[in-house]
Amino acid sequence: MNFHIMTLFPGMVEAVLSESIIGRAREAGFITVKEYDIRDHANNKHNKVDDTPYGGGMGMVMAAPPVCECHNAVLYGIPIGNSRRTVYVSPKGRILDHGTAVRLSRYDDLIILCGHYEGIDERAIEEVADEQISIGDYVLTGGELPACILVDCVSRLIPGVLPDPSCYEDESIASGLLEYPQYTRPYEYKGKKVPDVLLSGHHGNISKWRYERSLELTRELRPDLLKDADGEEKSGGKGKKRG
């Protein structure tokens, strides 16, 4: 899968997405990430991409022409026949969740537009964006961090990026429940021992214990995940019952 990020701060995005699992997935060729500097498409000698808002008000607005021209440059580099989607990351968008990440992971090319200042001229958004996505009900200074979050959570669904599909099928949220607690050595730490069942080698009992802890944790921390549309508790979450 190919990610194309349109931004005024390419270095900010590159710094995050060149490390760790995403950095390795890029090196191994499972995904590509390319940044496009919107400022390269400012058609004036000062490379100015923003202007004061019509109607007055605080702050500056990113102008439509450099955004649209940058988007054209991105499209130009995408092979004909590839499936693609352009997402504008914005606090006005639909809140990002696992289902959205799964849906977006099915495209060949995902173009992400990052805004800054007081936002982007509405005509550019209408022209280039297929949808708007927010990472939560709070406002950040720009779309670069949301773009990195989107690339991260979509990338880990791409085959090869994680070592084993069970890495993303079994964990919190994806299964409909929060993930069970995990333990590693030492066996005892600050007087607390690893639950005996995990040392038993009995896979059926371990699965049952993990499922029960998942359900318990979800009830305690995220009861909303267990509720259906009528507000009633579902029978054990969306995920497959284990054990």
Q: Are 180 and 207 in contact (CB under 8 A)?
A: no
Nearest distance in Å: CB 45, ligand ADE: 29
Q: At its nearest, how many Å lie between ligand ADE and the CB of residue 100?
A: 12
Q: What is the nearest approach in angstroms of ligand ADE to the Cβ of residue 138?
A: 6
At its nearest, how many Å lie between ligand ADE and the CB of residue 72? 23
Outline where the chain has alpha helix (H): 10-17, 20-28, 64-76, 98-104, 122-128, 144-155, 166-169, 203-221
- The site for ligand ADE (CB under 6 A) is made up of 89-91, 134-136, 138-140, 143, 146
Q: Which is nearer to ligand ADE, 100 or 134 (CB)?
A: 134
Kindly tell me which of 17 and 226 has the beta carbon lying closer to ligand ADE. Answer: 17
186 cis-preceded (ω within 30 degrees of 0): yes
Tokens 């022409």 label which residue?
65
Looking at the Cβ atoms of 120 and 206, the one nearer to ligand ADE is 120
Residue 233 DSSP class = B
Contact 104, 98 (CB under 8 A): no
Q: How far is the CB of 151 from ligand ADE (least distance, A)?
A: 13
* Closer by beta carbon to ligand ADE, 151 or else 206: 151
In this complex, which beta carbon is closest to ligand ADE, that of residue 139 or of residue 229? 139
Rounded Cα gap, residues 206 and 198, in angstroms: 6
Beta-carbon contacts of residue 97 (< 8 Å; ≥ 6 apart): 173
CB of 96 to ligand ADE, least distance (A): 8
For residue 47, what are the CA distances in angstroms to 29, 136, 193? Answer: 34, 32, 61
Rounded-to-integer distance, Cα 92 and Cα 177, Å: 27
Nearer to ligand ADE, 135 or 161 (CB): 135
Q: Are strands 61-62 and 50-51 parallel, antiparallel or unpaired?
A: antiparallel
The rounded distance, in Å, linking the Cα atoms of 52 and 167 is: 47
100 contact partners, CB below 8 Å, separation of at least 6 = 94, 133
Minimum distance, C-beta of residue 89 to ligand ADE, in the bound complex (Å): 4
Looking at the Cβ atoms of 142 and 176, the one nearer to ligand ADE is 142
d(CA 67, CA 65) in angstroms, rounded, equals: 5
